[in-house]
Amino acid sequence: MSVRWRWLWMTGLLASLSCSAPQPTPGVVRGRPGERLASLPGPMPGFGPFDTFSDALMAACPVILSQPHATAGRKGAQDFNIRWRISKEYCAWLYYTPVGKYEMSMLTDQSAQDDLDRRRSCLLPETVDL
């Protein structure tokens, strides 16, 4: 293979890698653009069950905060505005099961943002599909 063909092959490979659709984040459910989810599936694989709500809540925090772009840092920190623009709001339901345990639904990152770009809130569907 000549140098020219290697260069074209590598350019094509890099173009196909950079233009491919982003990989879905495991455990995160997203609707189509502009579509609000009607429900979230549950339970989250590998999470729970827990005997108490507080145990489930304590276990949920690191799961949520470990998601891509889940935090933006402190408002006065350097480059906060950039981190805020790329950050995401993740949320899930913690729910009580018929067997007396607590579980967490899958996560969603659907959110609403105020007009001034200062605050986000999660658009959590009303139900969990078990």
Q: What is the pLDDT of residues 37-72, one digit of tens each?
A: 999 999 999 999 999 999 999 999 999 999 998 888
Q: What is the pLDDT of residues 94-114, one digit of tens each?
A: 999 999 999 999 999 998 877
| Cβ proximity of 92 and 107 under 8 Å | yes
- Extended strands (E) in 39-106: 39-41, 94-96, 102-104
Confidence of residue 2 (pLDDT cuts 50, 70, 90): very low
C-alpha 24/C-alpha 43 separation (Å) is: 18
Within 10 A of 13 (CB to CB), how many other CB atoms are there?
Answer: 10
pTM flag (> 0.85) = no
Residue 109, C-beta contacts closer than 8 angstroms, at least 6 positions apart: 25, 28, 30, 67, 88, 89, 90
